[in-house]
Amino acid sequence: MAFLKKRIKAIAGALLAAVAWALAAHAEAPVLEYQVKASYLYNFARFITWPEDVVARQGNFNLCIVGAERFGSALDALAGERVNGQTIALHRLEQAGQARANRCHLLFIASGRDGTATGGPERGLLTIGETPGFLERGGIINLVEVNGRIRFEIRQPAARQAGLVVSSQLLGLAIQR
């Protein structure tokens, strides 16, 4: 346990360091922006509760990325981490349509790649985008840049339709629309 805690702490530390750096110089280094986003993905997984039947059904926590190349190595740190008692399994997808086949819990769709969005919330699937209007097209969380900081908006009804319970604290941090 102690070993695990230490590792988690190290990772969280590394992620936050990356965030700090990103805050300082995200414009010059796009990779840093995705390091922050990677840590956000991990934290969304922690602050959102999946339906119990979905959790019980699958062994791993399937984290699926469309456009994973933008993250570079930032995603590698996430693979093998545990979230809500499950081990993260990373799936690099070509298009969003592959989510069901990969039993994805979380699906991140990079900007310019959401043309293939499903159009409606799917049970047990948290969809995250980074494109303006992503929520209107059926997404649950959308990452936006505000004053040099990466923030997020949440469409609570969509999350509810997907059977996901979003932490009130997370809702509190989200951009109010």
**Residue numbers at the binding site for other proteins (CB under 8 A):** 5, 8-9, 12-13, 16-17, 19-20, 23, 40, 43, 46-47, 84, 167, 169-170, 172-173
DSSP state of 49: E
From the CB of 95, what's the least distance to other proteins, in Å? Answer: 28
Q: Which of 46, 82, 41, 36 is nearest to 64 (CA)?
A: 41
Closest separation in Å from C-beta 22 to other proteins? 10
Closer residue to other proteins (CB): 137 or 153: 153
Q: Which is nearer to other proteins, 37 or 113 (CB)?
A: 37
Question: To the nearest whole angstrom, how small is the minimum distance from the Cβ of residue 102 to other proteins?
Answer: 25
Q: For strands 86-93 and 82-83, give the pairing.
A: antiparallel
Phi, psi of 149 (to 5 degrees): -115, 145
Residue nearer to other proteins on the CB measure, 46 or 100: 46
CB of 7: closest distance to other proteins in angstroms?
Answer: 11
- The minimum distance between CB 99 and other proteins, in angstroms, equals 24
Choose between 55 and 170: whose C-beta lies nearer to other proteins. Answer: 170
- In the chain, which ranges are continuous DSSP H helix? 2-25, 30-47, 52-57, 156-161, 168-173
Say if CB 59 and CB 86 are below 8 A apart.
yes
Strands 141-146 and 149-154: antiparallel
Cβ burial of 26 (10 Å; 0-12, 13-18, 19+) is buried
Question: Would you say 16 or 101 has its CB closer to other proteins?
Answer: 16
